[in-house]
A and B are shown apart, each in its own frame.
Chain A
Amino acid sequence: MKRRSFLKATLATGAASVAVSAGLLTPSKVLASWNKQAFEASTVDAALNGVFGSANAASSDDVKLTAPAIAENGAVTPITVDASGIDGVESIVIIATDNPNPLVCEYKFHGAAQGFVSTRIRMGSTQTVMGIAKVGDNLLKAEQEVRVTIGGCGG
Chain B
Amino acid sequence: MSINIRTRGQVRGGVAEIKSLIRHPMESGARMDQSTGKPFPMKLIQNVDVSVNGNRVVDAQWSANVSTNPYMHVNVAANSGDEVTINVVDNTGDKGSDTFTLR
Contact = CB atoms under 8 A, between A and B. Distances in A.
A34 B55 CA distance: 21
B65 A99 contact: yes
Contacts, number: 106
B60 A110 contact: no
Interface string A15-59: 000000000000000011111000100000000000000000000
A39 B58 contact: no
Given A34-B47, A76-B67, A106-B61, A118 B72 contact: yes
Interface string A72-96: 0001111010001000000000001
A109 B30 CA distance: 31
Interface size on B, as a range, is 20 to 34
B65 A103 contact: yes
Nearest to A76: B67
Nearest to B20: A119
Interface residues of A, number: 37
B7 to A, nearest CB: 14
Interface of A: 31-35, 39, 75-78, 80, 84, 96, 99-114, 116-123
30 contacts: A32-B89, A34-B46, A39-B63, A78-B71, A99-B65, A101-B65, A105-B62, A105-B65, A106-B61, A107-B59, A107-B74, A108-B58, A108-B59, A108-B60, A109-B58, A110-B59, A111-B55, A112-B77, A113-B57, A113-B74, A113-B77, A114-B75, A114-B76, A114-B77, A117-B72, A117-B73, A117-B74, A119-B67, A122-B64, A122-B66
